[in-house]
């Protein structure tokens, strides 16, 4: 088993899925981009679906773990939230294809992805939710906003802006600036 080939296939799949979407992307082209024969794909992945699932499991999980670790280092709820936003934007900036894929395909209501959303993705969102709830408990944040609203509000905002940045050709917006503005608005918005 060639770990490199598997890795190359995953990277190629990320690129093609991001560019064409899961359904339009062709296994043959993914293989070609990875520099292997079509059939080789099936030595490393059960089928096309498995390729997508593996991307989620193997590429997204580490990012979540890394985010979790980073947030754990932050002491205040405010810092956790700001760190989440900033870091998410950095990750998008460094992995635009993966980001696009997650952003686009995560919306697809396919069974396996829906199940996936229910576990790993929820965990990711809860990093925000927990930080906010913690801040509420500490009397730092306004009580009238529910943590599950807050976490989705922030994620939705960050996701929208970073997706748009990824798709934009010009990239005349600095994503780090956007992150700061988002942070400002949402923290100011819930400040007591």
Partner DNA sequence: AATGAATGAGCTTTCATTCAT
Partner DNA sequence: TATGAATGAAAGCTCATTCAT
Side-chain half-sphere CA neighbours of 155 within 13 A: 17
- Per-residue interface string for the shown chain with a copy of itself, residues 156-185, x marking contact by CB under 8 A: xxxxxx-xx--x-----x----x--xx-xx
- Per-residue interface string for the shown chain with DNA, residues 153-172, x marking contact by CB under 7 A: --------------------
Can residue 154 be called a binding residue for a copy of itself (CB under 8 A)?
yes
Q: Which does 130 bind (CB under 5 to 8 A by kind): a copy of itself, DNA, none?
A: none
Can residue 125 be called a binding residue for DNA (CB under 7 A)?
no
Can residue 25 be called a binding residue for DNA (CB under 7 A)?
yes
Number of neighbours of residue 86 by Cβ within 10 angstroms? 19
Can residue 43 be called a binding residue for a copy of itself (CB under 8 A)?
no
CB-wise, 28 or 177, nearer to DNA? 28
Can residue 58 be called a binding residue for DNA (CB under 7 A)?
no
Of 64-123, binders to a copy of itself (CB under 8 A) are 100, 103-104, 107-110, 114
Which residues of this protein are in contact with a copy of itself, per CB under 8 A? 18-19, 21, 23-24, 100, 103-104, 107-110, 114, 142, 144-146, 148-150, 152-161, 163-164, 167, 173, 178, 181-182, 184-191
């Amino acid at each position: 088993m060639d770990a490199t080939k598997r890795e190359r296939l995953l990277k190629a799949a990320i690129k093609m899925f991001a560019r064409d979407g899961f359904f339009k992307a062709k296994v043959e082209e993914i293989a070609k981009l990875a520099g292997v024969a079509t059939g080789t794909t099936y030595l490393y992945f059960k089928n096309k679906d498995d390729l997508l699932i593996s991307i989620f499991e193997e590429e997204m999980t580490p990012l979540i773990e890394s985010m979790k670790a980073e947030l754990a280092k932050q002491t205040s709820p405010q810092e956790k939230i700001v760190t989440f936003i900033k870091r998410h934007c950095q990750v998008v900036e460094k992995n635009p294809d993966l980001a696009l894929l997650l952003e686009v395909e995560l919306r697809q209501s396919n069974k396996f992805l829906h199940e996936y959303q229910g576990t790993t993705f929820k965990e990711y969102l809860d990093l925000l939710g927990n930080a906010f709830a913690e801040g509420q408990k500490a009397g730092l944040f306004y009580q009238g906003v529910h943590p599950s609203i807050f976490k989705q509000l922030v994620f939705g905002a960050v996701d929208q802006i970073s997706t748009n940045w990824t798709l934009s050709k010009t990239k005349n917006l600095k994503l780090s600036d956007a992150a700061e503005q988002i942070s400002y608005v949402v923290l100011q918005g819930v400040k007591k």
